[in-house]
Amino acid sequence: MSQVELTTLGKTCEFFNGKAHEKSIDENGKYIVVNSKFISQEGRVIKRTKEQMFPLYKGDIVMVMSDVPNGKALAKCFIIDQDDIYSLNQRICCIRSKEFDIKYLYYQLNRHEHFLAFNNGENQTNLRKDDILDCPLIKPSIEEQIRMVKELDEAFIYQQKAIENVETNIVNSNQLFSSELNRIFSNPDWEHKRLEEVCKTGSGGTPLKVHKDYYEGGNIPWLLSGEVCQKEIIKSSSFITKKGLDNSSAKLFPVNTVLIAMYGATAGQVGILTFEACTNQAVCGILPNDKYLPEFIYYNFLFRKNELVAQATGNAQPNISQIKIKQTKIPFVDLSVQSDVVNRLNLIADKSLFLHGKYQQKLERLNELKSGILKRAFEKELIETE
């Protein structure tokens, strides 16, 4: 085994600070700004500049020096892959060394425990130059570094293949439910009616904000469209008073009302009320009746979500009108058929959710495996120095 030296970044590497680019940002600029978002997103998110404030060269290692409490970008590194197309932003440092294989140094520096120890979980972490220069490094011979990089690269290729397989399984588990939903509600033998022919609908309202007594001390749940985001709506973050309800267009919807978000990012989302509640005007309520199971209505509108969103108007944000919702088709079938459909879809949804959770746990473990592989590799090298 070749001799292994325990050293520091300051003794073996050159350190450079980046520069501010605020005044030179230009979407048509020639150079890519290397900032924290660029590094944390592995170069997928870019901002351009017309002026190269600090040029970077192939083989430079750049590292994030500042991040929010418990942030995932602190000390994250990136290897520059080309000359003369990047410019280094402030609070990002550049590290160069002739004593290390660059890939080996990257593997050792990326999210190094020395840097992460400065995160106290409460305040923004700002690594100082001296903090970075004091980082301990393990330096075996160049030949040993190259050998380790080859082994680590091979291990990460297998890990990446495993991650891709699990990600495919996650997609498949999600499609398990959606494909069954589509199959059931595409039944050509079912009779269909417009929603307005078989159900009553209503929308909410917003009590005037200038009247504090419409809100303060209120105990009537008042849902916003953003809270229509899951099958069973179990709580509200906002409340109004009886006076606010009586002096506005808000309505108290009963339990089992099916709600559809009509505006904004959540347009088309659907959920079922599990408690009496009002909503603002961005929500449509489909009132319960003796012809339909609430869950059947829910699944129908889940199936037709894309259809509704496609009919939305407005450039800034989608806006689904209550008229469009009323005109939406719904199968006109017996309650017994509805019950069979609901039971089937509930079963598939539970299975899909279970599989999704199972594969998500596997994915998290595989992502943690990389840091474990690196830790064991460098711990083994550290033992050689003792």
Q: What is the DSSP string of 116-146?
A: HTT--SSS-EE--HHHHHT-EEEE--HHHHH
d(CA 103, CA 326): 60
Q: Over the stretch 265-314, which tens digit does the pLDDT of each residue have? A: 889 999 999 999 999 999 999 999 999 999 999 999 999 999 999 888 87
Helix (H) / strand (E) element for 331: namely: strand 329-331
Nearest-5° Cα angle at 60, 58 to 66: 140
pLDDT at 2 (0 to 100):
57
3-state DSSP assignment of residue 114: helix
- Residue 355, token pair as written in the block: 């599989």
**Phi (first) and psi of residue 189, to 5 degrees:** -85, -10
141, 147 in Cβ contact below 8 A? no
Would you write out the chain's pLDDT as a tens digit for each of its 386 residues? 457 899 999 999 999 999 999 889 999 999 999 999 999 999 999 999 999 999 999 999 999 999 999 999 999 999 999 999 999 999 999 999 999 999 999 999 999 999 999 999 999 999 999 999 999 999 999 999 999 999 999 988 888 898 899 889 888 888 999 999 999 999 999 999 999 999 999 999 999 999 999 999 999 999 999 999 899 999 999 999 999 999 999 999 999 999 999 988 889 999 999 999 999 999 999 999 999 999 999 999 999 999 999 888 876 677 899 999 999 999 999 999 999 999 999 999 999 888 888 888 888 888 777 777 777 777 766 555 55
Residues facing residue 286 across a β-bridge: 201, 258
How far apart are alpha carbons 45 and 37 in whole angstroms? 7
6: Cβ contacts below 8 Å, ≥ 6 apart? 136, 137, 138, 139, 382, 385
Distance between CA atoms of residues 255 and 273, nearest Å:
5
Helices (H) and strands (E) in the chain, counts: 12, 21
Would you state the pLDDT for residue 384?
A: 53
**333-337 long-range Cβ contacts below 8 angstroms, 24+ apart:** 333/190, 333/191, 335/291, 335/292, 335/293
First and final CA of the chain: distance in angstroms? 13
Sign of the C-alpha dihedral, residues 157, 163, 165, 171?
negative
pLDDT at 1: 45
Residue corresponding to tokens 């749940």? 221
> What backbone phi and psi angles, to 5 degrees, belong to 73?
-95, -20
- Compute how many other C-beta atoms are within 10 angstroms of the C-beta atom of residue 47: 17
List the one residue out of 288, 329, 293 whose CA is nearest residue 311.
329
Query: What is the predicted pLDDT for the residue at 349?
Result: 92
pTM for the model stands at 0.66
CB 55 within 8 A of CB 87: yes
Query: Which run of H or of E encompasses 93?
Result: strand 92-96
CA distance 303 to 349: 13
Domains and CATH numbers, the chain: 5-139 (3.90.220.20), 142-169+335-385 (no CATH), 191-332 (3.90.220.20)
